[in-house]
Structure 1
């Protein structure tokens, strides 16, 4: 979005460099918190076991593998709380929900129980923001940096552009916070819109 990011500036990072930079900055996130905006309706999750099970049509196994992640999530979000910041996510969804979104919201509902603050926003609610194309995929690290994430045509992670200019970071964080405030908390959305859906048959 042209009003969020300057025409010039930012540093392109390939995927390996982005992951390294993200990991380095994540645990330095200040009290403003971590804010993420997800707009795409599917991503290539690589060799993530639960996603692979979904791809192959084994929904029961996909759910079992999510359950197995609970100790890992409990530890991770405990460390985040101890570090003094919170994670917030805006998940834009198109309806009817496709299998990927059904699967992701199931994982996010598990994470919600351990402290990640997830709000869901229907795509119709952001249509006015998308006159120049779909909203970007964003991660904001407190007051430190914002990443504009890039993906290949096959929905594979493909690096990011990092902005560290304080005004740009503030604009991006404020934008996500506005969308977050317009969304619905996942703990009320999930039981009504996701829990009763039939098992997806793969991707």
Structure 2
């Protein structure tokens, strides 16, 4: 992990600047694809309706609201496909699954139906990379940029550090690609580990 990203450098962006910068670059991601690494076991999803239902303990409503996203996802992922690139995500999970992860895997399962390529990796499998702490939250936009995402202690998005050095971007992308290749396909993982779980309580 020590040689994945430089100890200094990059450009620190607050949340607003990160959203703007990401939005400008995303649609020119290109054939190398979008690669995301999720390591934390929970985030504050703000006013996202399905997550809010989870927080208040209404699991059935939370799942219903996920299903309502189908038209939005069909349009969004169709636009991505037309732009010539694909979305890949590595979701690292710890056991036992916390409510957030159980909820997110249901959401990601729907995204997978519309083209997002999701791979699940057990946390024990990334231990060799974490001798100095957990892997960072990463978003890699093709060969153009990698964002190291920051969050507050309560999981609220708090900006990012952007790196555009080609060697740094390549190293980050290759790490996420390697984990993605080594992980389990979401659908098979979901059927085995998630489908039979009782409704979670809380977030």
Scaled by the length of structure 2, what TM-score is found?
Answer: 0.98
Matched residue, 1:54: 54
Deviations 1:132-189 (A, max 9, x none): 0000000000000000000011111000000000010000000111111110010111
Matched residue, 1:195: 195
Following the alignment from structure 2 to structure 1, what is the Cα–Cα distance between the partners of residues 112 and 87?
10
Structure 1 alignment gaps of length 5 or more: none
Following the alignment from structure 1 to structure 2, what is the Cα–Cα distance between the partners of residues 186 and 18?
28
Following the alignment from structure 1 to structure 2, what is the Cα–Cα distance between the partners of residues 50 and 202?
13
Matched residue, 2:102: 102
Secondary structure at 2:169 match in 1: helix
Count of matched residue pairs: 203
Q: What RMSD over aligned residues (CA atoms) do the two structures have, in Å?
A: 0.7
Matched residue, 1:34: 34
Structure 2 alignment gaps of length 5 or more: none
Matched residue, 1:81: 81
Q: Kindly indicate whether residue 14 of structure 2 is the aligned counterpart of residue 7 of structure 1.
A: no
List, as ranges, runs of 4+ consecutive aligned residues in structure 1 with deviation greater than 3 Å.
none
Report how far residue 28 of structure 1 moved.
Answer: 0.6
Report how far residue 89 of structure 1 moved.
Answer: 0.3
Report how far residue 8 of structure 1 moved.
Answer: 2.6
Deviations 1:27-60 (A, max 9, x none): 0101000000000000000010000000000001
Question: Where in structure 2 are the equivalents of 1:137-176 lying within 5 Å?
Answer: 137-176=137-176
Secondary structure at 2:148 match in 1: strand
